[in-house]
Structure 1
Amino acid sequence: MGRPEEPKIDRGLTLHLRGDWGGANLHRICGWVAQELGDRTGPGTRIATWNSRGFVDAVRAVGHGEVDIALTTPAAFTRAAMDGSGTYAGEAFPKLRALGVLPQRDRLVLAVHRSLKATTVARLRENTPRLRLATSVNDGVNHVGLAAHAVLDRSGVDVLGWGGSFLEDERPFESLEHVLAGRANAIVHEAVMLPHWQRLAPDYHFLPIEDDVLTGIEADNGWPAATVAAGYFPGADGFRTLDFSDFLMITTADLADDVAYAVAWILGETREVLESQYRHLPPERSPVTYPLDPVAIGRTPIPLHPGAQRYYQALPGN
Structure 2
Amino acid sequence: MTSSPPAATGGRARRGRSDSRRGDSIFFNLSRGSGILLLVIMAAIAGFLTYRSFLALGHNEGNFLTTFEWLPDAPKPVFGIAVLTFGTIASALIAMIIAVPVAIGVALFISHYAPRKIAQPFAYLVDLLAAVPSIVYGLWGALFLVPHMSGLTSWLDEYLGWTYIFDATKNGAAPRSLFTVGIVLAIMILPIVTAVSREVFKQTPRMHEEAALALGATRWEMIRTAVLPFGRPGVISASMLGLGRALGETIAVATVLSSSPLLSLHLMDPGGGTFAQNIALRFGEAGENGRNALMASGLVLFVITLLVNGAARMIIARRKEYSGAN
TM-score over 0.5 for the alignment?
A: no
Normalised to the residue count of structure 2, the TM-score between the two structures is 0.24
Structure having the larger proportion of residues in helix = 2
